[in-house]
Structure formats: C-alpha cells, structure tokens
C-alpha cells in the first residue's frame, strides 16, 4: 500500500463551507480530475504546489488555511 503523505488538509471542509461545492466543480476550477480531488481529500495524494495554491485561491484563503503538516 502506498505510504500516506504526512500532509493534512481541510479541502472537504472548505468545499462544503462554500455552498456545498461539488468535487467535480472544484476539480474543474483547479484543472484536475474529480478522482484527484477525492484522493487529496482522503489524504492519499499531496497536490503539487501549483494545485495547492489554486485550491487556496478558489476558497479565498491562504495556503496554510488549507494544508498543514501532520502533528502540527
């Protein structure tokens, strides 16, 4: 089994806080597939820095409001 990256995120929480934005809508907004958004939300995949910034910009928050380091 692939090792989980030690990065936490609040993507699902932020998405739901934004009028229940769908995974597909977020995927389209940041230029990835819905499966990639699902993988990010489940902590199975750490997005590239560019996609991380895109996600933060979609929600109008800073990068550290979306992503964190496990244990911090």
Partner 1 sequence: MSFREQSAWAMMAILTVGGLWYFNKVRAASVALGETAPPIMPFVIAYIVLIVIASIVAMSVLGMASPEAANAPADERERQADSRAGDLSGYVLGAGVIIGLLHYPLHMDGNMLYHIGFASLMLSQIAEYGLRIWYYRTGS
The one among 48, 60, 69, 72 contacting partner 1 by CB under 8 A: 48
32 binds partner 1 (CB under 8 A): yes
The one among 47, 56, 59, 66 contacting partner 1 by CB under 8 A: 47
CA distance 36 to 47: 9
CB of 53 to partner 1, least distance (A): 13
34 binds partner 1 (CB under 8 A): yes
User: Please, which residues have CB within 8 angstroms of residue 46's CB and are 6 or more apart in sequence?
Assistant: 5, 7, 40
Rounded to 5 degrees, what angle do the CA atoms 6, 27, 57 make?
A: 75
């Amino acid at each position: 089994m692939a090792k989980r990256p030690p990065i936490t995120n609040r993507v699902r929480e932020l998405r739901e806080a934004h009028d229940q934005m769908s995974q597909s809508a977020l995927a389209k907004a940041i230029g990835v597939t819905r499966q990639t958004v699902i993988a990010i939300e489940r902590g199975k995949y750490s997005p590239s820095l560019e996609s991380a910034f895109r996600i933060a910009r979609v929600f109008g928050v800073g990068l550290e409001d979306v992503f964190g380091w496990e244990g911090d």
